[in-house]
Amino acid sequence: MLLENRVAIITGGSMGIGKGIALKFAEEGCSVAIIGRTDRGNKALTEITKKGYQAMFVRCDISDSRQVNDMVNQVISKFGKVDILVNNAALAATPKPLTDISDEEWATILSVNLTGQFFCCRAVLPYMKEKKYGRIINISSLAAVAPLAAEAHYSAAKGGLLGLTIDMAFELAPFNICVNAILPGITDTEALDNVIPPGQNKHDFLSEQIKSVVPFQRMGTPQDVAGVALFFASELSGFVTGDRVIVAGGSPLMPIE
């Protein structure tokens, strides 16, 4: 197993991409800490532990640094260490022109999608540095480099996460801590429902868009992203840091008309 005896914190692990990563890691021998803002995480926890895997759920709003510090302490108390951090938690943003984005909307998206990731990194690093080992995987987005909609607040946060990834990779390499980013494209998760007009079927609405921008002509799945996360979390990528992988079925490749 690729992650035997490892311990991972997975923010936003209650559903979607985060849950897919949690299940994949657990299958590979990893003890997983599922982090979420609501009690939905208990359902994911039950699903994982019923299969005989080691897991825990901690309710935490990552935009609050005090909650993040307490969350990491709880994980250390139960599992004794933290080897892997997957910064997956994020808020979806409603597409709208930049001039229509309110101060509150901007602050809310940035507080979770970028500042919260920083809080989580800062909280786990003392433990990783002490062990001279760590894997940090930041879940950015294709929107950071090739926006598919007008959502400047979301794209700015996900772009900022790429900058954080590169800087941490440089700073933490002497401690044998690898930091990499994954940029999912259109992925079939619950969060995608937020950008679908009311009353429309998600798959019907996206079918024509997908055909025009995704060479594979399908949406991604949490499992597609989880496979890349497993690579970054394991020894297979032990000499890879500061890198990014787009998981988007070939997007943003475009055909020449």
> What is the side-by-side strand order in the sheet with 31-36?
55-59, 31-36, 7-11, 84-87, 134-139, 177-184, 244-247
Q: What are the structure tokens assigned to 248, written together? A: 């988007």
Q: What is the C-alpha to C-alpha distance for residues 195 and 116, in angstroms, rounded to an integer? A: 22
Structure-token match 């959502």, residue found: 151
Residue 14 · residue 129 · CB < 8 Å: no
Distance in angstroms (rounded) separating the CA atoms of residues 88 and 139: 5
**Strands annotated E in 17-146:** 31-36, 55-59, 84-87, 134-139
DSSP run (H or E) holding 26: helix 16-27
Catalytic site residue from 53, 127, 133, 154: 154
Closest-CA residue to 121 (of 138, 133, 107): 138
127: annotated active-site residue: no
Q: Are 113 and 90 in contact (CB under 8 A)?
A: yes
Catalytic residue numbers read: 154
